[in-house]
Structure 1
Amino acid sequence: MLELAQHLFVSGSSKARHKMEGIMSRLRLFALLWTLLLLVSFIGCNGADQKVQDNPGAQVEIGRRGGRVVVAQRDGPKTFNYLLSPDVNTITTVMYQMTSRLFEFNHDTQEVAPSLAESWKTADDGTSMTIKLRQGVAFSDGAPFTADDVVFTFQLFADTGVVNSPFRSVVMVDDKPITAEKIDPHTVKLNFPAPVVDPEMKLNVIGILPKHKLEPFFKQGAEAFRAAWSVSAPASEIVGLGPFILKEFAPGQRTILARNPRYWKKDSQGNQLPYLDELIFEVVSNPSTRLLKVQSGELDISDEVTPDQFETLKSGEQTGEYRVRDLGPWLTVDLMWFNLNSGEDSKGRPYVDPAKLRWFSNARFRRAVMHAIDRQSIVNNILRGHGTVLHSIVSPANKRWANPDVPRYEYNLNAARQLLKEAGFVEKQVDGRLQLVDAGGRSVEFTLITQEEIDVRKKMAAIIQEDLAKIGIKMGVSPLPNSEVIARQNNTYEYEAILSGLSPSDTAPSAYANVLQSSSSAHWWFPSQKAPASDWEAKIDQMVDRLSRTRSVEERKKIFDEVQKIVAEQLPMLPVVTRNFMTVAKTSVGNYRPSVIIPRSVWNSEELFVREAR
């Protein structure tokens, strides 16, 4: 999923590649431990004891029961039905903590692992998958988990009246939904409209929802279903299969999750997980306030430490109370894009001023803007070196799939001016100020929106504003609440340009399909196209479809490299930088193994525990 529509690693990608290349020989030997399997066509695991498997890639301690961990969060969840609001806060709090998935992405090993799916087998032609479900698993209210819940969840994903978000594309293949068929109470068959490669990776973001709770609302219609698990719903009504359940929600303040006493996982010694009694997400939108709360001990974990705060926190480590870490580039990338939506609102008004749409739709204009932005200055002055200039929408942290040979747009004002001249723009001096005008004599001006809660992006926007003024472009900057940015981006399309982030849910090419496919609602620059608006978008659609069908890792790499090249040439999204993922946590938090992929520091929340005071 994606940061606003809204989910890494540096080590381990080479290892994963060699595993994939040797997969067929391993299958013939039938001797590979499940922890060495990644994206295979048949995966089986003896999970009858439902224990967390020992992980050779990490030191997992046996924790102690009790206590609470308080985690900083920019904002609270928008709903307790994660299908309805795919923002990062809802995903982190609700989907990852209050549901379980058929397959899980292990952030230690960067592998897909069994979860509610105890074992599975993909058909040789890639058009179906038969899954054996874990038995003895129950929802937090005691209702048994069965194949009916899986079938119901896939039904929800495929229903356009219920799910009109990037989540829906997870179950779409060739513009048709994946269907789930009940074989028996603990066996389901997933039918794919066309062959699917890596279905486990594609489907590891589907949290299973309770049919017995939500089906009555679903039958009443979309409005009733959407209201059922709103943020005002009683906590007792929200049930799930995750390690935690809702205890209390205070909008704009905090979400308190309590230990799910019926959670199905156990540690390697048979102790039931999770260890914590409570996991609390504290809303602290202001970075300065977060810093003070870390220093005062009010927060146990705070992700997204800013570059300004890193050295301050580093110098305070000597107290032994907390540890701050720079994990290097994360998968989240900072991007700028123009609104290329040629549609109209309900009153027949164009989403974008026609003259501005002509500017934005011109690839030369977009390339000129790229050349005019001094991104290395952003890394040096705003990120204090804790970041990397970006040349693709794929972070360099994704070493397995990122293409390093895409077209690059170095800071070069002369190159920018030449491209603008070729596109028909002219520079003029007006009252002693450089002003760019189009062929019709109109001054080139537009407004960039970004999240007011993210200080780093506001500073980036200020530098971009100064840089574009050097080529005569007048860019206004309008910081807005995150919720308003999301609404304009996904619903009203009332914007000219956005500076925001892209957070893939994992490293596989399928994680980028939402934003790449022209029919997707997450195709942010022009979402939900009935037909591709350009030849290059049509070509990308075809290549993404090929990616979903191609089994050869080498061939998939070639295809995805070409996709990245086309995106870098056309620049529907202008790559700015990728920031390093910096996080801080108290040393009293056990099994703290943060990841640069969502849900970051709480991906293994069931294993977190509070150490005894020394």
Structure 2
Amino acid sequence: MVRTRPHHTTPARTTPHRTASHRAAPAAVAAALVAALALTGCAGPDSASGAAPADPTPGGTLRFALGAPPQGVDPQQVGTNVSIYVARQLADSLTDQDPATGEIEPWLAESWDVSEDLTRFTFHLRDGVTFSDGSPLTADDVRASFDAVAGELGATAPLAASYLAGYEKTEVPDERTATVVFDAPNAQFLQATSTVSLAILSEQTAQADPAERLQGDVVGSGPFVLESYTQDQGAVITRREGYEWAPESSEHEGDAYLDRIEFSVVPESGVRAGGLASDQFDAVGDVLPQDVPQVEGSGGEVLTRANPGVPFVLQPNVTRPPLDDPEVRRALLVGIDRQELVDTVLSDAFRPATSVLASTTPGYADQSDQLAFDPDEAGKILDDAGWTTGPDGIRVKDGEPLEIEVTYTPVFTGSGAVLELAAQQLRAIGVDLLLRQLTAAEQTTAQESGDYDLYYYNVTRADADILRTQFSTAQRNLSLREPDDAVDPLLDEQLGEADPAARDALVADAQREILDQGLAVPLFELAQSIGVRGDVHGLAFDASSRLLFHDAWIEQD
């Protein structure tokens, strides 16, 4: 066994927005399972506006305008940023990932042991933790939470289920010890225990109906509790009394400062920015470039942090024409000007995609040579593949125009504008990109039925195993491809590799192979862009660029 250091209390917390560093992990297992997480575009609430008042002021209500409706409030089932903004405040995880270094640190577990073959992870739980209903955290809650993800939740919790692939059981030798057992090496699991998807819920919640959990039947150990959730409208959470187990990356111990957070849904970016300027909101999500002057002109600022994981991509359904033709997929890779997408539609907080992993993800390998904009090369590829230019500029083969439909849901406010510009770029090489906007439920239905040409999405995670989740034929497999002897073996092998350098090499090969086969067309790296009023302080991002409100506070009159 390899033993981590025990949890310790730090008298003075440092800001989670400190400059990125690369300090060594405290033990061999951390070095084996975590790579340093380099950050870009990171600004704290006080870094741009000068020092805040010396003492945070407890109390007050923070009004937050979301750009899209939350899917629900169950941390194990939701996946969108707006959903996690709410759900993360209700539940904690076994471990925490430092947002500056990527290091895995204690949270609900004060220490852990990992077997040499990466199949057994033993967590020693922190004493004194309770759920919002007053019941104590025990190893039975850990077992029930993971059993539910691997069992009844299943497809309704795709991220959480993928993190528990190969899960056999959780052993409970005593109430403070939980050993999670897998049937094969699982190098990604320790980092997975820091994610909201594997947050620990009470045993009663774990056994509840999944649909009821999604609508609000959730009991966690987080710094806030749910007061109300209204589908498609928003949620209200209130401070929980007696919260004493914040992770080390937090700025303070003890209860959250805010009394209450009111989340409302305001789809129009300009309306959100205007509401911030006119004191209708204290914070707003998805601030677009054209809204920044209004936010800053009213004394506010925009906080940004790049998301790790899979950037926004177009993933092709390779089972039907025209994307069953690998040459068409190759042409798409070089037919899009990613820098123009960022410069025209987005902002400096965003970066053009240079791989199928975002550049802030441990294990990222720069594949920009494969994605360099080259419309002449794209045209030549299509010419050689027999696609000839028709009278309207759209290419034709065997009497069929080169029409490709992209299915998307606007969970990110700028998605429509990005895809419209991409369509203009592709039309210049003779490809007619048709936009098909769906609701989240409709897109899920399309995914399950395979009724799409290109599936537009991103997914955030600060671990390279997210590639296995999205591109392995045994996992989500949005390309609907058959198992192969190239991508699948690489993704499987990295899961069992404890040596970080060797694992990075496998992940780099996987990124290259995914692009070689045209299994994704990367567009841009998502960045969180949050507008806050000048009297709002302490709003923080976690390692996955999701918001944390434990340290947030508002200056009181």
Length-normalised TM-score, structure 2: 0.84
> Which residue among 518, 522, 525 is the counterpart of 2:479?
525
2:96 alignment partner in structure 1:
104
Shift, 1:568, TM fit: 1.9
1:464 aligns with 2:422: yes
Cα distance, 1:163 vs. partner? Answer: 4.2
Question: What secondary structure, in the 3-state scheme, does the structure 1 residue paired with 2:394 have?
Answer: strand
> Against the structure 1 CA distance between its residues 611 and 60, is the aligned structure 2 distance closer, same or farther, given a 3 Å change threshold?
closer
2:402 matches 1:422: no
Q: Say if 2:63 is the partner of 1:70.
A: yes
Q: 1:576 to 1:288 in 2, by over 3 A?
A: same
Contact 2:107–2:245 under 8 Å retained in 1? no
The equivalences for 1:80-479 within 5 A come to 80-94=73-87, 96-159=88-151, 162-173=154-165, 176-205=166-195, 206-215=198-207, 217=208, 225-231=209-215, 237-265=217-245, 272-314=254-296, 316=297, 321-327=299-305, 333-340=311-318, 342=319, 357-383=320-346, 385-398=348-361, 400-405=362-367, 407-429=369-391, 433-438=392-397, 440-452=398-410, 454-479=412-437
- Which amino acid in structure 2 is aligned with residue 292 of structure 1? G
The alpha carbon displacement at 1:93 in A equals: 1.4
Residue in structure 1 matched with residue 439 of structure 2 by the alignment: 481
User: What is the match of residue 529 of structure 1?
Assistant: none
SS in structure 2 of the partner of residue 149 of structure 1: helix
Cα distance in 1 for residues equivalent to 2:247 and 2:157: 35
CA shift in 2, pair 1:407/1:484, >3 Å: same
Residue 121 of structure 2 aligns to a residue in which SS?
strand
Q: Report how far residue 80 of structure 1 moved.
A: 3.4
Q: Distance in 2 between matches of 1:155 and 1:328?
A: 32
- Deviation, 1:452, is 4.4
| Conservation of the 8 A alpha-carbon contact between 2:20 and 2:100 | no
Provide the C-alpha distance between the structure 2 equivalents of 1:267 and 1:583, rounded to a whole number of angstroms: 23
Cα-to-partner distance string for 1:496-551 (whole Å, 9 max, x where unaligned) = 22333x23221x21233311221112x3222xxxxx6153xx42222122212212
Do the aligned partners of residues 266 and 541 (structure 1) sit closer, same or farther apart at CA in structure 2, a change above 3 Å counting? closer
Q: CA deviation at 1:150?
A: 0.7
Counterpart residue type for residue 396 of structure 2? V
> Residue deviations 1:535-593, cap 9 Å, x none?
3xx42222122212212221112111111111221221101122554322123223233
Distance 1:72 1:322 in 2: 15
Contact 2:67/2:285 (8 A) holds in 1: no
1:505 aligns with 2:464: no
Alignment partner of 2:537 out of 574, 590, 613: 590
Q: What letter matches 2:315 in structure 1?
A: W
Partners in 1 of 2:466 and 2:178 — Cα distance?
24
| 8 Å CA contact retained: 1:386, 1:580 | yes
The residue matched to 2:186 in structure 1 has which SS?
coil
Distance 1:517 1:59 in 2: 47
CA contact (8 A) 1:130 1:188 kept: yes
Amino acid in the other structure paired with 2:382:
L
Identity %: 19
- The one-letter amino acid paired with 1:361 is D
With over 3 angstroms needed to count, the CA separation of the structure-2 counterparts of 1:514 and 1:325, relative to structure 1, is: same
1:4 paired residue number: none
Alpha carbons of structure 1 residues 160 and 329: separation in structure 2 relative to 1, 3 Å = closer
Say which SS state the counterpart of residue 503 (structure 1) adopts. Answer: strand
Match of 1:44 in 2: none
Q: Structure 2 unaligned runs (5+)? A: 1-15, 35-50
Tell me the secondary structure at the aligned position of residue 461 of structure 1.
helix
Instruction: State the shift of 1:334 in Å.
Output: 2.2
Larger Rg: 1
Deviation of the 1:405 alpha carbon: 4.3
Distance change (3 Å), C-alpha of 1:554 and 1:171: closer
Counterpart pick for 1:546 among 490, 493, 500? 493
The answer on 1:557 being equivalent to 2:501 is no
Checking the alignment, whether the CA contact within 8 Å between 1:302 and 1:583 is kept in structure 2 is yes
SS in 1 for 2:371: coil
Following superposition, the deviation at residue 382 of structure 1 comes to 1.8
Q: Is the 2:307–2:460 contact (alpha carbons within 8 Å) kept by the matching residues of 1?
A: no
| 8 Å CA contact retained: 2:118, 2:498 | no
Contact 1:323 1:585 in 2 (8 A): yes
Distance 1:540 1:299, change over 3 A: same
- After superposition, the C-alpha distances for 1:270-322 in whole angstroms (9 at most, x for unaligned) are 963122211222211111111111111222222321122223433x1xx5x42
Does the C-alpha gap of structure 1 residues 339 and 10 become closer, same or farther in structure 2, counting only changes over 3 Å? farther
Structure-2 residue corresponding to 1:45: none
Contact 1:12 1:109 in 2 (8 A): no
- 2:10 is matched with none
Structure 1 residue ranges without an equivalent (≥5): 1-8, 28-36, 42-57, 218-224, 343-356, 527-531
By percentage of residues, which structure has more helix?
A: 1
In structure 2, how many angstroms separate the alpha carbons of the residues matched to 1:571 and 1:270?
47
The one-character-per-residue Cα deviations of 1:78-123 (angstroms, maximum 9, x if unpaired) are 33333344333333312x1111111122324432221111111112
Count residues with an aligned counterpart. 522
Q: Are 1:574 and 2:552 counterparts? A: no
Residue 4 of structure 2 aligns with which residue? none
| 589 and 525 in structure 1: CA distance in 2 versus 1, 3 angstrom threshold | same
Residue 266 to residue 594, structure 1, CA distance change in 2 (3 Å): closer
Q: Distance in 2 between matches of 1:153 and 1:328?
A: 30
Tell me the secondary structure at the aligned position of residue 360 of structure 1. Answer: coil
Letter in 2 for 1:424: G
Kindly provide the amino acid, as one letter, of the partner of residue 290 in structure 1: R
Distance in 2 (alpha carbons) for counterparts of 1:142 and 1:328: 37
> Structure 2 counterpart of 1:408, which letter?
Q
Could you tell me how far apart the structure 2 residues matched to 1:358 and 1:270 are?
56
Distance 1:435 1:512 in 2: 33
Match of 1:15 in 2: 22
Partner SS state of residue 139, structure 1: coil
